[in-house]
């Protein structure tokens, strides 16, 4: 690091930090300049001042609608909370620090690095069970700030934390994940005390209203079965959404470029001069390709920019094949979905995209400069809901249909009574012929559909109950407008 960059970094730390005011028995109020994104990394539009619900009862989540007043919400810490105690675990390469009183039980550490973090066992942490870079990544990914790391017996902020812009992520069915050295203050402006050893760069804030360690998350959202509004179950998710959005893809690309590239004799030289934010760029590209927001186009310049990064590289076939292999392994390491439908689409793009990169990188290549960013989709309509699952729990969920029976004299409505009878897997299995979610298509083919329902050959994984067949027949033979 140069002297100028050191001075610049020091000046950045002296700049006034953005603040979140924790209102007494009320919402969080975030100052302008703090980005708010959903669990997919997509910005959430909000008008200032931003008031975020923390009682868990708002009907306009994540924003406050003053439900805390009617509920009588109180924000005192519960005496049953896990004590504030910093544990120090010495290893061969580093010391790992852990405060169970800060933990939000997101499971990132135990799910991703179970050779070090042992769920339900003592000692919980065995620091010598992984490489130093994997330890550092696990600590940095801890959303609550409960974990820390140091080469010596003191937490090293430079190893444990990363510099990020101020942001609040509204996690799925869980806490607000705060990053970027945002200051938490009470109504009097005094800083909110954090537990011993807790990160000052990131934290998890309760939004279910039941934490034992308010305003911080204690994992009680699991106990109280806290959930966000359920999206339309009939809407087909994009690959971007199914993957887990930008955060999941960024986790994957960071693993790829930190774990597999540096030590590989074929790939290392190819990426030796890549920019420090290269993993972010690749994650933004994949987000856009997989049907998400136009992150790459808006942040870096679109297809022309991507092509420019490959011109003249002369990527060899063996480098491409290794890149694809490691990328798929990184998807496994990052915990991206492993269902066959997603992986078919994911691997198809990795193969297609990497081969295009080889073509564009040739010495005499002249790639067309103004092509659109490709938009990838499910392969041949093979979506996760397109087939019966062989796993008992999955199969049970896939077969559950909520049926609303009309009254004897009530007209049967397609959207209310008929469309919900057909699951996503039923629809996807018939898209080659017609769409079971479109009234026009079903009406046109109603007699053939009814004949198959009565014969028990549709759907293919089991006959419908008699009352559902009768409901469909009632709709099929009533006059349609």
Q: Are residues 404 and 459 in the same domain?
A: yes
Give the residue from 330, 356, 381 where a domain finishes: 381
Helices (H), 153-244: 157-160, 220-223, 239-243
Give the residue from 381, 410, 440 where a domain finishes: 381
Contact 18, 182 (CB under 8 A): yes
Q: Are residues 468 and 403 in the same domain?
A: yes
Q: Are residues 327 and 447 in the same domain?
A: no
Contact 75, 212 (CB under 8 A): no
Query: Do the domain assignments include residue 313?
Result: yes
Q: Are residues 411 and 329 in the same domain?
A: no
Q: Are residues 377 and 401 in the same domain?
A: no
Q: Are residues 372 and 434 in the same domain?
A: no
Question: Taking the CA of residue 474 as centre, how many other CA atoms within 13 Å lie in the half-sphere pointing to its CB?
Answer: 18
Query: Do the domain assignments include residue 256?
Result: yes
How is residue 338 written in tokens? 């492993």
Q: Are residues 273 and 363 in the same domain?
A: yes
DSSP states along 261-315 = STT-TTTTGGGTT--TTHHHHHHHHHHHHTTS--HHHHHH-SHHHHHHTTTT---
Q: Rounded to whole angstroms, how far apart are CA atoms 364 and 424?
A: 47
Q: Rounded to whole angstroms, how far apart are CA atoms 292 and 307?
A: 20
Q: Are residues 396 and 373 in the same domain?
A: no
Task: Report how many domains make up the chain.
Answer: 2
Q: Are residues 318 and 450 in the same domain?
A: no
Query: Do the domain assignments include residue 305?
Result: yes
Parent domain of 470: 392-477
Per-residue pLDDT of the chain (481 residues; tens, 9 = 90+): 333 434 444 444 556 789 999 999 999 999 999 999 999 999 998 888 899 999 999 999 999 999 999 999 999 999 999 999 999 999 999 999 999 999 999 999 999 899 999 998 889 999 999 999 999 999 999 999 999 999 999 999 999 999 999 999 999 999 999 999 999 999 999 999 999 999 999 999 999 999 999 999 999 999 999 999 877 766 789 999 999 999 999 999 999 999 999 989 999 999 988 899 999 999 999 999 999 999 999 999 988 998 888 888 899 999 999 999 999 999 999 999 999 999 999 999 999 999 999 999 998 888 887 889 999 999 877 777 666 666 655 544 445 556 778 888 889 999 999 998 988 878 877 877 888 989 999 999 999 999 989 988 888 778 899 999 999 999 998 876 5
Q: Are residues 366 and 446 in the same domain?
A: no
Q: What is the chain's percent helix, strand, coil content, to nearest 5? A: 40, 10, 50
Give the residue from 381, 401, 436 where a domain finishes: 381
Q: Coil, strand, or helix at residue 442?
A: helix
Residues 6+ apart with CB under 8 A from 391: none
Q: Are residues 340 and 260 in the same domain?
A: yes
Query: Do the domain assignments include residue 61?
Result: no
CATH code for position 254: 1.10.490.10
Query: Do the domain assignments include residue 73?
Result: no
């Amino acid at each position: 690091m140069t002297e100028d960059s050191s001075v610049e970094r020091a000046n950045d730390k002296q700049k006034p930090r953005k603040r979140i005011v924790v209102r007494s028995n009320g919402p969080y109020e975030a100052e302008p300049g703090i980005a708010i994104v959903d669990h997919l990394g997509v910005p959430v539009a909000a008008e200032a001042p931003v008031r975020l619900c923390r009682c868990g009862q708002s009907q306009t989540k994540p924003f406050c609608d003053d439900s805390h007043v009617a509920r009588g919400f109180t924000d005192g810490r519960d005496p049953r909370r896990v004590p504030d105690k910093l544990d120090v675990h010495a290893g061969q390469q580093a010391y790992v620090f852990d405060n169970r009183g800060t933990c939000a039980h997101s499971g990132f550490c135990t799910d991703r690095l179970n050779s070090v973090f042992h769920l339900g066992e003592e000692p919980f942490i065995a620091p010598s069970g992984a490489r130093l870079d994997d330890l550092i990544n696990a600590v940095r990914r801890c959303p609550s700030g409960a974990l820390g790391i140091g080469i010596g017996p003191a937490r090293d902020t430079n190893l444990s934390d990363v510099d990020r812009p101020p942001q609040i992520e509204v996690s799925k069915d869980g806490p607000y994940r705060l990053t970027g050295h945002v200051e938490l203050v009470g109504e009097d402006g005094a800083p909110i005390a954090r537990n011993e050893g807790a990160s000052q760069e990131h934290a998890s804030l309760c939004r279910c209203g039941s934490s034992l360690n308010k305003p911080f998350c204690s994992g009680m959202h699991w106990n109280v079965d806290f959930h966000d509004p359920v999206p339309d179950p009939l809407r087909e998710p994009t690959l971007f959404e199914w993957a887990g959005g930008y955060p999941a893809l960024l986790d994957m690309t960071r693993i790829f470029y930190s774990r597999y590239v540096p030590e590989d004799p074929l790939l290392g030289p190819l990426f030796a001069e890549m920019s420090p934010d290269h993993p972010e760029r690749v994650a933004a590209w994949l987000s856009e390709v997989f049907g998400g927001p136009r992150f790459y186009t808006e942040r870096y310049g679109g297809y022309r920019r991507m092509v420019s990064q490959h011109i003249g590289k002369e990527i060899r076939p063996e480098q491409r094949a290794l890149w694809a292999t490691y990328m798929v392994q990184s998807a496994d390491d990052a915990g991206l979905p492993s269902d066959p439908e997603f992986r078919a689409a994911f691997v198809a793009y990795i193969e297609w995209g990497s081969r295009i990169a080889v073509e564009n990188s040739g010495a005499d290549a002249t790639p067309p400069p103004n092509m659109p960013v490709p938009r990838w989709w499910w392969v041949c309509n093979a979506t996760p809901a397109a087939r019966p699952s062989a796993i008992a729990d999955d199969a049970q969920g896939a077969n559950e249909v909520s049926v609303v029976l009309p009254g004897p004299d009530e007209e049967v409505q397609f959207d209310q009574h008929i469309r919900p009878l057909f699951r996503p897997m039923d629809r996807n299995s018939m898209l080659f012929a017609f769409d079971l979610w479109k009234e026009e298509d079903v009406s046109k083919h109603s007699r053939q559909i009814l004949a198959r329902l009565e014969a028990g050959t549709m759907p293919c994984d089991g006959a419908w109950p008699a009352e559902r067949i009768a409901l469909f027949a009632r709709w099929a033979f009533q006059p349609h407008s």
